[in-house]
Chain A
Amino acid sequence: MIDKRIASVREAVADVFDGATVMVGGFGEAGSPIELVHALIDQGATGLTVVSNNMGSGEVGLAALLRAGRVARAVCSFPRTANSTVFPELFHAGKIELELVPQGTLAERIRAGGAGIEAFYTPTAVGTPLGEGKERRTINGRECVLEHGLRADFALIKCRRADAHGNLVYNKTARNFSPVMAMAGRVTIAQAREVVAAGEIDPEAVVTPGIFVDRVVHVAEPAHESELIAAGATYP
């Protein structure tokens, strides 16, 4: 009997350990699993490496996890966003390490990690500071750098609908990194606006097949980062 449903966000993140690598879905606020991140703040794991396109805005979600001092290292393409003050503050104070990765390389490194590809060659970043120190090779006349696949101990993602097998459907541009992070997470935890029985999602419409998902937790009315920020919210 396969049933990946977990009763609460608290239980869903209970085993995240100190020093874990955690992928967090989202591009800006779209797809950011705020409730799972808040549960992780309550849970207390620290010394984390977070892999995410951005590093949060305001004092909620990912920014609140940083503010709580739980993140030692960020793997990220764009850590400075509108309303993002926590990351710049910690970075200037030398309290967080940053590995800056071009966005497409970040996506492909995550996909590769989840797909069992240890490394790949890409022309992105050749001749730039982000290509320095990387193995180089010319393939089909194109100069490339070697990039390594990325995996994570946990992936926290958000979707619109999930079934008990962990099949997922997303909402618009909130899909972004979640499908590849689901593949790369050893334990992938999805918060879903709606949770249905197996068979209720058309197999033709499944975006993330359930094999990539370990836990599904129902969050019926997820918060939107921009609304929390407008209301001056902080977490905890």
Chain B
Amino acid sequence: MSAGVGWDREAMARRVAEDIPDGSYVNLGIGIPELVARFVPEGRELVYHTENGLLGMGPSPAEGEGDPELINAGKRRVTANPGASYFHQSDSFAMIRGGHLDLCVLGALQVAENGDLANWSTGGEDAIPAVGGAMDLAAGVKSIYVVTQHTTKEGEAKLVERCTYPLTGLGVVDRVYTDLAVIEVTPEGFRLVELAPGATLEMVRERTGARVLEPARTAGAG
């Protein structure tokens, strides 16, 4: 990617945060999704859920501080905000599977144009299989936003017609935030919502392994 084109990791996280409504209960996955918490627009209050058993997760404490028994799903030390609560795993996944969370922001290996998500395994012979809560989140949370680089480090498309990696969930992804664009998953396939600075629709199409439709012109059209 040429310099100055697209969003960096922080900008991607900031762009996701802009779209989260005030008062939402949100589960943030590991990696770029974790950064989203830093960019909540002024005046909005969001409650973060971490599936190991905390609602009302606050930022990580300074290095070397905090409690080894107060951690997030990535096993990093965090804090608890005023109004927080602790609960056991079965309650935590009742929140997830029971549809009580409004939104989950996850990373991805691949997203297909029908909304299929692959984010837990490349299926390689040598890989140690590990899934954590990804499949429960995919199956249970009302909206799933994916935040990911548009392509792999090798330049392969991560937005594809059909996932080739083992699936996490079927038809679950609503939106994808990449370094190049915001794309929604519609019944017709991927549709551009917004381009990152310097990016063009042609550039996005070249790097996507499926059709990318032009933005909807007016609300309610078609």
Binding site for B on A (CB under 8 A): 27-31, 53, 77-82, 87-88, 91-92, 98, 100-108, 110-111, 122-130, 170-180, 207, 224-227
Q: Which residues of B contact A224 (CB under 8 A)?
A: 68
Asked if A173 contacts B71 (CB within 8 A), the reply is yes
User: For A123, what are the chain B residues with a Cβ–Cβ distance below 8 Å?
Assistant: 97, 139-140
Q: A82 to B121: give the CA distance in the assembly, Å.
A: 16
The 6 lowest CB-CB distance pairs between A and B, nearest first, are A104-B93, A104-B136, A107-B89, A174-B69, A28-B75, A103-B133
A172, B69: Cβ atoms under 8 Å? Answer: yes
Tell me the complex Cα distance, A79–B128, Å.
8
Partner of B168, one of A81, A128, A173: A128
For A170, the chain B residues whose CB sits under 8 A away are 86
Known: A128-B169, A172-B54, A172-B80. A78 touches B89 (CB 8 A): no
Residues of chain A with a CB closer than 8 A to B92's CB:
104, 107
Once bound together, how far apart are the Cα atoms of A100 and B170, in whole Å? 19
Query: Chain A: which residue is nearest B171 at the CB level?
Result: A127
Q: A180 with B89: in contact, given A98-B129, A128-B135 (CB under 8 Å)? A: yes
Instruction: Give Cα distance in the complex from A29 to B74, angstroms.
Output: 12
Q: Of A88, A91, A124, A180, which is within 8 A of B136 by CB?
A: A124
Please give the distance in Å from A73's CB to the nearest CB on chain B: 15
B-side binding surface: helix, strand, loop or mixed? loop
B75 to chain A, nearest CB (A): 4
Residue of B whose beta carbon sits closest to that of A114: B90
What chain B residues lie within 8 Å of A122 (beta carbons)?
97, 139
Q: In chain A, what residue has the closest Cβ to B96?
A: A104
Check B89–A171 contact: CB distance below 8 A: no
In this complex, how many residues of chain B approach chain A with their Cβ under 8 Å: the count is 39
Question: What are the residues of chain A within 8 A of B126 when measuring CB–CB?
Answer: 92
Q: What are the residues of chain B within 8 A of A128 when measuring CB–CB?
A: 135, 166-170
Q: How far is the CA of A106 from the CA of B92 in the complex (A)?
A: 12
Q: Does B217 contact A (CB under 8 A)?
A: no
Interface status of B53 (Cβ within 8 A of chain A):
yes
Chain B residue nearest to A131 in the complex (CB):
B135
Which chain A residue lies CB-closest to B95? A104
A64 CB, nearest partner CB in chain B, Å:
18
Q: Most chain-A CB neighbours within 10 Å: which of B70, B71, B135? A: B135
Among A31, A102, A129, A225, find the residue whose CB has the most chain B CB atoms closer than 10 A. Answer: A102
Q: How far is the CB of A144 from chain B (nearest CB, A)?
A: 9
Determine the distance from Cα of A207 to Cα of B69 in the docked complex, in whole angstroms.
17
In the assembled complex, the CB of A207 is this many whole angstroms from the nearest CB of chain B, namely 8
The distance from the CB of B89 to the nearest CB of chain A, in whole angstroms, is: 4
With A104-B96, A172-B70, A180-B88 already in contact, the answer to whether A77 and B52 are too (CB < 8 A) is: no
A175 with B86: CB separation less than 8 A? yes
Q: How far is the CA of A126 from the CA of B170 in the complex (A)?
A: 8
Closest A-chain residue to B129, C-beta based? A100
Q: Is B69 touching A177 in the complex (CB atoms < 8 A)?
A: no
A177 & B86 in contact (Cβ 8 Å cutoff): no
Given A104-B97, A125-B139, A128-B167, verify A177-B130 contact (CB < 8 Å).
no
Known: A31-B69, A82-B75, A128-B168. A176 touches B88 (CB 8 A): yes
With the chains together, A224 CA to B54 CA distance in Å? Answer: 20
Please name 8 further chain A to chain B contacts, defined as beta carbons within 8 Å, in addition to the given A172-B86, A175-B53, sorted by A numbering. A27-B71, A28-B52, A82-B75, A122-B97, A123-B139, A124-B135, A125-B135, A173-B71
Say whether B70 contacts A91, CB under 8 Å.
no
Taking a contact as CB atoms under 8 Å apart, the answer to whether B90 and A107 are in contact is yes
B contact residues around A179 at 8 Å (CB): 88, 90
Q: When the two chains form the complex, which single residue of A98, A110, A176, A227 contacts B52, counting CB atoms closer than 8 Å?
A: A176
Which residue in B68, B90, B121, B131 is a CB contact (below 8 Å) of A102? B131
Residues of B within 8 A of A80 (CB): 128, 130
B69 touches A103 (CB 8 A): no
Could you show 18 A-B contacts with beta carbons less than 8 Å apart?
A27-B75, A30-B52, A30-B75, A87-B128, A100-B131, A102-B135, A103-B131, A103-B132, A104-B51, A106-B89, A110-B90, A125-B135, A129-B167, A172-B69, A173-B54, A176-B88, A179-B90, A226-B68
